[in-house]
Structure 1
Amino acid sequence: DIYSSSWNSGIVQTVEEEIESLGQRACSYLGSHHTAKENRDNFRRCFLDMGHVLVELLWFKNTTKSVMCDVLEYCLSDDWGYSFLFKFGHCLQRGDESDTEVDRQVAQLIVAEFSHFKEVLTMVWNEETSQKPANDTVHGIKGQRRKGGIMEELHIKRDALLESFHSFDAQYKKLLGEYINPDADMNELIQTTAAITNKFKPLDCGSGWGEEVKQQIPYILAGVFTVFTIRRSGESYNRLSNGGNIEMSTKMLMKPHNIQ
């Protein structure tokens, strides 16, 4: 051997010890809500340093991710940790004036890498997604069909589509208000929605949908999207809402866009 294997293992041990040290330092800033707020910048810098190791030293990725997860879980061991972590994740997503370009890239990768920040991603998506009015969406729809080898314009029943959307929207809001309560029976909603669809089995799509089917589609979609919203974001909504943060809790709901 040209050099002893202890040379390599010594370096690995030193780096891993430094990663552990960063994790311990980060946890020391989370002793209490007051301490966390006072040391927010120090905590951010410490977590970013671990993020740089996570991104740039792939050999240590698993070790670094494990330590970072432990820090995040430690933060969530107290009730105040949820709101602190949300604000911290939002801060990482937005960036800071003192950050370098690499810092900003690492910060966004951290938010994307850890499920602890899923609420931040939901809120950012809600803020950045253009909520185009349903009326504009429907009037922007164009249709064509092939007839005798020639494409011709297809008449779109826009008034009927808008009416269906408003039926969906009203039912969706009604169901969401009823079932987002953690004590509500979600299976009841699922069974009710399934019962509507079962009435039309078997459905021959080739012959087109009759008026009865079309009238029930808004209610079927309302049930499906209510389950989707609650399953994906109901827990976050209830936790923030019960904590008195009504405005923030509403931003946490993963709602369908009218284009969907």
Structure 2
Amino acid sequence: MLFNSTDPAVWDSALALYPEAFKALAATKSDQSIIALDKWYQTEFPSLLASRSPCFINHEEIVKLVAWKLKRGKYRPALAKMVAEHTDAVVRRTSQEAFDIISSKNDLKAAISKMSELKGVGPATASAILCAGAPDKVPFMADESVDSVPGLGKIAYNLTYYLKFAAKVIDKAEKLKEAGSKVNSPHLVELALWADMMAEKFDLPAPSPSSSSAVAPAAGTNKRKANEPSAVAPPNAQETQDAKENDSTTTNKKARSTRSSSRK
């Protein structure tokens, strides 16, 4: 399991898989807007947020972010509808307060709680918002990344579970940074975990450690063509999850990837 590795080269190689792992995922989608959305979230949006003082997101951006999250992960259309109902003023004010909490107090619990005051925004969506503006402090709660961290128990989309996940990821980022890894922030740790899990799912070849120098966590930067699965139709209404992420519903964890254990 990648998370148990302490080898910087293994982690750097896992992160280098992100472009191709994302390409393989995108190939299974009938809606290819996911490609532009991921590029926006991974590269363009963080730069925009970094230019703002104080930091905030607006209504258009939160709607776009939720679209990215739903297309990249589980399909919960009710979330998009609820988030879209917020006024721009409310989104700006709430997000500014949440970003201020994380930047000035480094209080992850309070920041996620503040962002989750918006209807339709649970800890996972709140983490995606804050991660874009504070990747050095906040990891995004993607299911595949969560599933790659041992000792968390069953997935629960609530604040307590998210904080357990975040604590482990933040600690791993600090240790990898000390070891000289390029995977030196909570966001990059969860990206590497996601890429490793998806590479296992799509049976992608592992890159050599030297290829990790080409890390660029954004769509459209692939240099190799993966074996692309045929496109599948988007989930139907029966696959819709509960609208609010921070309820007490839990689901069984999937089998964790053991891909990286052979690269230790």
TM-score of the two chains, using structure 1 as the length reference? 0.26
Q: Which has the higher contact order (CA 8 A, sep 6+)?
A: 2
Q: Which has the higher helix share?
A: 1
**Which has the greater radius of gyration?**
1
